[in-house]
Structure 1
């Protein structure tokens, strides 16, 4: 396959076409290739799963460990603008050259085994990390946990941030079914953390059955705080006078508490000082997670794409103070619970600018418009054509909203990574 592949886009295009299924659950093929590659880590590995909050958790862990002077590798997905975002070493995106070299290694060792785009690129990035002399590796689960390619690596500490309904066609349609899939990243004899205040019984049961050391929020770790600062309390470690995370949003203290529980569990191998924690939390950055851009009108970028995330976005919008009008730039995948997302936000949005997205999985703008009409998202006295407008791209939708919004209004961009990425590209160009 690799003869005519010279650039990173060449490789990515070839990988997308290589396997018959975009998502192919199961670890057998990945485990075979991992074995032939001899992929092992001697440093601590932290795997992060859950429905929402994974990216924030990975970013906080990375920021604290970097401030403590460790060499850290972080694997996240999906990316917003460039594939290279998925692999960070010491806070820097991997270069095209490093990724291509890792792709060549997977290609040389897969022995004809068919791998999906996600499986192939996951193995490549794991190989890159294994060659980089790291002190810590942070891996974000792509989908679910038990059968996700990331789970081919045994984690020293596994965090399940939250459990809610998403990806039902792969994971089941109840929190109990999904909780079992998420708990698949736990390992016998190793720390298993759940930051969700209401963990599914399936997750607790699985952790206990395999003999994982389960840390539950509210039982094994907790937080308290006032408007100025907050405190963490774990099994044997307390941290007080902490700065609030620089990431905005109602759930970030829950995420941060899970991060500090993981660091408490690893304190003998990766000690971090109180100042490392404070500075790491104060300076953490993560694009597209309730990211409020400077300027007027206020623009909020949020990759919320399921009802659980939409409820958090709604709460965060409520906490922002008064804005005369809120404009939504909204595009989503057709296999998501679009109605569930809309229900949480319809009372906060005055004008909907809905958009097509550039891939077959996306719902069309017209389909989303019909859902908005069915859910009665037009205020009394509003003109339908004014309240809900359709566009072919996030850029067009955003430009239209920007031209109409007053300087005291706000524009919320949400529904998918692709919606947010489309607007980010428009603003960067």
Structure 2
């Protein structure tokens, strides 16, 4: 960063924009064959969209970041579709109504839309579709995956339905769509939840979803200026316990002896994961 700042400092880049710049520079210096950039917010105005990709992928579209991207699936799909490039493939597993927007935008931009609707066998539907997208992306880019079943079986994302010690489940679900997918794959409970959510998320809907599987919810603020204020929810949710910190919420949840779901935000999982992993 010290090397790049004299050239880019006048641009007043955000933290995420610096991350994209530094990643691009690092990849270039290491001469990587394939670099994968995840869009942080939408697509059209995202920093990663300054890069000209060989392949663009829109996995799915759900209601999130509505203050910035729009309040409908169609509006958000239009933002995401702008990562497509003329003469290149736009790969997706989206369903309607997002699919129509992607198809129309791809045609306007001169991109080729490829739609996958059959998930990889042996996985839950959304995971199976993501796996199918990943394998198709390899094919488009000219790579052969010699042992796809092994590759998928051994793939691991920290904080995505991550289980520790047979009793703790950590998932960074931070919108109703992701929360629904988490709940869909839970074994029968009951559970208790450690929940921290950012204020600009649909926390009322997510708490309603969690209430269907959790007999008690331990609500905690997060170390962020965007944190919700769970104390304001006192009395709103009968099974909610207001805590001062993630550590306090986890300690109270642990004392119940019930299986625990830690969720609501990357910050919620991130604040507790290292300690939980170390303790086993």
TM-score (norm 2): 0.93
Candidates 184, 198, 203, aligned match of 1:315 = 184
Q: Does residue 1:259 correspond to 2:134, yes or no?
A: yes
Instruction: Give, in whole Å, the separation in 1 of the partners of 2:197 and 2:208.
Output: 14
In structure 2, the CA distance between the partners of 1:105 and 1:338, relative to structure 1 (3 Å rule), is same
Residues 85-234 of structure 1: matches in 2 within 5 Å? 103-110=1-8, 112-198=10-96, 200=98, 201-218=100-117, 222-223=118-119, 230=121
SS in 1 for 2:10: coil
Instruction: Tell me the equivalent position of 2:209.
Output: 344
Number of positions where the alignment pairs a residue of Structure 1 with one of Structure 2: 277
Q: Does residue 1:389 correspond to 2:264, yes or no?
A: no
Write out per-residue CA displacement over residues 347-383 of structure 1, whole angstroms, 9 at most, x where no aligned residue: 111001100111111002213445xx2xxx53xxxxx
Instruction: Give, in whole Å, the separation in 2 of the partners of 1:262 and 1:304.
Output: 25
Candidates 283, 302, 305, aligned match of 2:171 = 302
In structure 2, the CA distance between the partners of 1:286 and 1:369, relative to structure 1 (3 Å rule), is farther
Q: Does residue 1:286 correspond to 2:166, yes or no?
A: no
Instruction: Give, in whole Å, the separation in 1 of the partners of 2:9 and 2:193.
Output: 48
Bigger radius of gyration, 1 or 2?
Answer: 1
Unmatched segments (≥5 aa) in structure 1: 1-102, 225-229, 231-243, 379-386
1:223 Cα shift?
3.6
TM-score (norm 1): 0.62
Q: Is the 8 A contact 1:105 1:124 kept in 2?
A: no
Q: Is the 8 A contact 1:395 1:426 kept in 2?
A: no
Instruction: Tell me the equivalent position of 1:9.
Output: none
Residues 72-91 of structure 1: matches in 2 within 5 Å? none
- Cα-Cα RMSD: 1.7
Unmatched segments (≥5 aa) in structure 2: none
Q: Is the 8 A contact 1:142 1:148 kept in 2?
A: yes
SS in 1 for 2:82: helix
Instruction: Give, in whole Å, the separation in 2 of the partners of 1:146 and 1:284.
Output: 29
Instruction: Give, in whole Å, the separation in 2 of the partners of 1:348 and 1:273.
Output: 38
Q: Is the 8 A contact 1:353 1:390 kept in 2?
A: yes
Q: Does residue 1:274 correspond to 2:150, yes or no?
A: no
Q: Is the 8 A contact 1:333 1:362 kept in 2?
A: yes
Q: Is the 8 A contact 1:302 1:413 kept in 2?
A: yes
In structure 2, the CA distance between the partners of 1:342 and 1:250, relative to structure 1 (3 Å rule), is farther
Instruction: Give, in whole Å, the separation in 2 of the partners of 1:140 and 1:266.
Output: 17
SS in 2 for 1:204: helix
Instruction: Tell me the equivalent position of 2:255.
Output: 403
1:412 Cα shift?
0.4
In structure 2, the CA distance between the partners of 1:110 and 1:273, relative to structure 1 (3 Å rule), is closer
